[in-house]
Amino acid sequence: MSVQQNYRTGATLAGYNFAFLDEQTKRMLRRAILKAVAIPGYQVPFGSREMPLPYGWGTGGMQVTAAVIGSKDVLKVIDQGADDTTNAVSIRRFFVRMTNVATTEKTRAATLIQTRHRVPEIPLSEGQILVYQVPIPEPLRWLEPRETETRKMHALSEYGVMHVKLYEDIAQHGHISTAYDYPVVVNGRYLMRCSPIPKFDTPKLNMNPALQLFGAGREKRIYAVPPYTEVKPLDFEDHPFEVERWPESCALCGAGDSFLDEVILDDKGSRMFVCSDTDYCGERREAGHTGRMSAPYKAEAAE
């Protein structure tokens, strides 16, 4: 992992240290990251630094990225699955200025991926690091506002109330309606929030060969899922965990196995579904896959 490769390479922009943060801060963050890796799913407090973006724009993820990035890294930044959204563009531009590292939109080519709201569709591999931007790290906060109490609940594995939340879901909606930030138990021990990714992505965290790091800037917490760690979504025996399904496949690439965004085409209610992961969709189209909206219509045959 690039935690080890990350030696100082000198300032890239006059007056700034490599990756913006000073070495002392990076060391502090790396210590927190190492502790987080050693205790999968456990939230490690750290002294959050001011980043040149307001909280809520991924400052936690940026600090983690700044602490692990090395000059040989190839960086990819996504927001909602896309590389070209405002948030992704400004974070990527920031790191290019501050480190001069190469960037990519290709999941396969990246060594370091910072993300908000999605896990890439293309499976990650050993040596890659996925950094999640986390708005609220504490899975028990909705129930218990006191930090001392939630810490105790984690220490004693008092997680029964999380099932109460799912119980209420089923009682109200007939099924578990929690669709984002689905609660999971990491390595059979710590209850963890996956950040607001769709539950579609939750199974991707399980036994993933990549290192997954989570950074919450405002709440000053870092946590981690090391490679090949078990991540289990909470559920009931008679209401097992299930991911979203769509009535159609991707209108552009025909994929039937990806997370789809609904796009409204006109005010008559016409709509289409397209991959939220733009890199995945593009790779499939390059390989010749087509969907309903891309002539010739061969989506079903291609499946």
Active site residue 194: no
DSSP letters, 8-39, are: ----SSTT-BTTBS-HHHHHHHHHHHHHHHHS
What is the rounded CA–CA span in Å between residue 184 and residue 164? 14
Q: Is 172 an interacting residue with respect to other proteins (CB under 8 A)?
A: yes
Q: Is 275 an interacting residue with respect to Zn ion (CB under 5 A)?
A: yes
Structure-token pair, residue 142? 């909705």
CB 298 within 8 A of CB 288: no
Which among other proteins, Zn ion, none contacts residue 78 (Cβ within 5 to 8 A by kind)?
A: none
Nearer to Zn ion, 211 or 274 (CB): 274
Residue 205's identity, in one-letter code, is L
- Which one among 16, 90, 135, 167 touches other proteins, defined by CB under 8 A? 167
Residues in CB range of 215: below 8 A, 6 or more apart: 59, 60, 61, 62, 63, 64, 65, 131, 132, 133, 134, 221, 222
Residue among 128, 98, 100 at smallest CA distance from 115: 128
The rounded Cα 131 to chain-centroid distance in angstroms is 6
Residues 41-100 that bind other proteins (CB under 8 A): none
User: Cα-atom radius of gyration of the chain, to the nearest Å?
Assistant: 20
- Which one among 50, 237, 267, 286 touches other proteins, defined by CB under 8 A? 237
Residue among 113, 33, 125, 123 at smallest CA distance from 79: 113
Q: Which of 61, 70, 275, 291 is catalytic?
A: 275
- Which one among 255, 276, 279, 290 touches Zn ion, defined by CB under 5 A? 255
- Which one among 3, 39, 122, 170 touches other proteins, defined by CB under 8 A? 170
Q: What x-and-dash track marks residues 182-221 binding other proteins by CB under 8 A? A: ----------------------------------------
Q: Which residue stretch of 20-28, 44-52, 149-157, 273-281 sits at the interface with Zn ion (rule: CB under 5 A)?
A: 273-281
Q: Is 299 an interacting residue with respect to Zn ion (CB under 5 A)?
A: no
Question: CA separation (Å) from 26 to 109, 128, 158?
Answer: 25, 19, 33
CB 19 within 8 A of CB 95: yes
Q: Which of 70, 194, 253, 254 is catalytic?
A: 253
Which among other proteins, Zn ion, none contacts residue 275 (Cβ within 5 to 8 A by kind)?
A: Zn ion
Question: CA separation (Å) from 253 to 121, 276, 284?
Answer: 13, 12, 6
Q: At which residue do the structure tokens 């690439």 appear?
A: 253
Nearer to Zn ion, 234 or 299 (CB): 299
In the complex, minimum distance from the CB of residue 163 to other proteins, in angstroms, rounded to a whole number? 4
Q: Which of 41, 56, 70, 288 is catalytic?
A: 41
- Which one among 158, 230, 248, 261 touches other proteins, defined by CB under 8 A? 158
Which among other proteins, Zn ion, none contacts residue 255 (Cβ within 5 to 8 A by kind)?
A: Zn ion
In the complex, minimum distance from the CB of residue 179 to other proteins, in angstroms, rounded to a whole number? 18
CB 168 within 8 A of CB 211: no
Q: Which residues bind Zn ion (CB under 5 A)?
A: 250, 252-253, 255, 275, 281
Q: Which residues bind other proteins (CB under 8 A)?
A: 152, 155-156, 158, 160-161, 163-164, 167-168, 170-172, 235-239
- Residues with a known catalytic role: 41, 250, 253, 275, 281
